[in-house]
Amino acid sequence: MWSANKKKNKKQYLNITIRVFIILMTVSFSTLLFSGFNFTAELANIGLSIFSGIRGGIHEVSSFVSRTVLSIRELTILRREYNELAERIARYEQLERSAAEIRQENSRLREQLGFSQNLRYRHIAAELIGRDPDNLFSAFVINKGSYSGVAMDMPVIAYQDGSQSLVGKVIQVGVFESLVMPLYDARSYISARFTQSRYEGIIEGRGNPDIFLLMRFISKQARGEINIGDIVVSSGLGGVYPQGINIGRVSRIRFEENEISMEVEVQASIDFSRLEYVFVIDAAISDDADASYDAAASYALGEWDG
């Protein structure tokens, strides 16, 4: 009886133990299952975060590269447009300068034309085109020669600052070009006189346009009648230069008691640094002479026809 109860208790105890074990296993399995799910979720979250970071970095890099390329392209376009605008502005400025130069040139030519029309001598208009290679600081070349009627020793004048002034004379003639010796040349000697006192002298060049001309052999009696600023013109003596052509103004008076004559320094009226156009004149023939000759010839021809 007691054995039967004992076996029955053992069997109940075993059943309870098995049930507890099954419950514990179930609880353990459930805990492990839920724990594994959370770990997987964490791994997924970590992977998603890493991928999102990489994707964001790639996007930032690609955006930076795209913006850089776009900026470089825009900069290239802006630089090209800037260069085109700069070239266009330079062309406009050149055109403006050219137009201004043309206006000035037309004004100078009109001025020269007006002077030419009122000049009483037969003349040949010419332009300075160069310097004598053997004498760069003195003689200069003009673009008219024997073909245009230029001859040796013809005087050369110019119109500058509203008045005509003596430039020099022709010393060499080619077919289409001529060489002119200016009055400041050291070989130049011009018979001159003062317009007010009428005393005469000889103008000598001193080899440099920046140095005053020297008028020598002036009578000492003229000492009290010559003043600074007096006008000096050609006297017409010597047969080369016609009388009355402006040469310059007195800038300094030299007087020595032991000298038989006096000297003055003369500032030339022509600014040779601005000289562009000149007139070669035939002093032996004036327009009045041409008119008289034409009238006489017409009269003679009329009588011959009659």
- Per-residue pLDDT reduced to its tens digit, 234-247: 999 988 999 999 99
pLDDT value for 60 = 73
CATH of 119-286, one of 2.40.10.340, 3.50.50.60, 2.70.98.20, 1.10.287.1770: 2.40.10.340
Q: Lowest-confidence range among 63-67, 85-89, 197-201?
A: 63-67
SS3 (DSSP) at 265: strand
pLDDT at residue number 105:
63
User: Residue 147: its pLDDT value, please?
Assistant: 95
Residue 110 or 83, more confident: 83
| Higher-confidence position of 107 and 304 | 107
pLDDT band at residue 225 using 50, 70 and 90 as cut-offs: very high
In order of 97, 149, 196, the CA distances from 286 in angstroms are 40, 15, 26
Q: For 55-71, what is each residue's pLDDT tens digit?
A: 666 767 777 777 787 88
Give percent of the chain above pLDDT 90: 37
Supply the pTM of this predicted model: 0.60
Residue 264: per-residue pLDDT: 96
The 3 state secondary structure assigned to 163-187 is EEEEEEEEEEECCCCEEEEECCCCC
Residue range 17-50, pLDDT digits in tens: 777 667 766 766 565 555 544 545 555 566 556 6
pLDDT in the model for residue 66: 77
Whole-angstrom CA distances from 159 to 97, 121, 153, 171, 277 are 25, 14, 20, 21, 8
Q: What is the pLDDT of residue 113?
A: 59
Of the candidates 300, 301, 181, 174, which has an alpha carbon nearest to the alpha carbon of residue 240? 181
On whether the CB atoms of residues 214 and 203 are closer than 8 A, the answer is yes
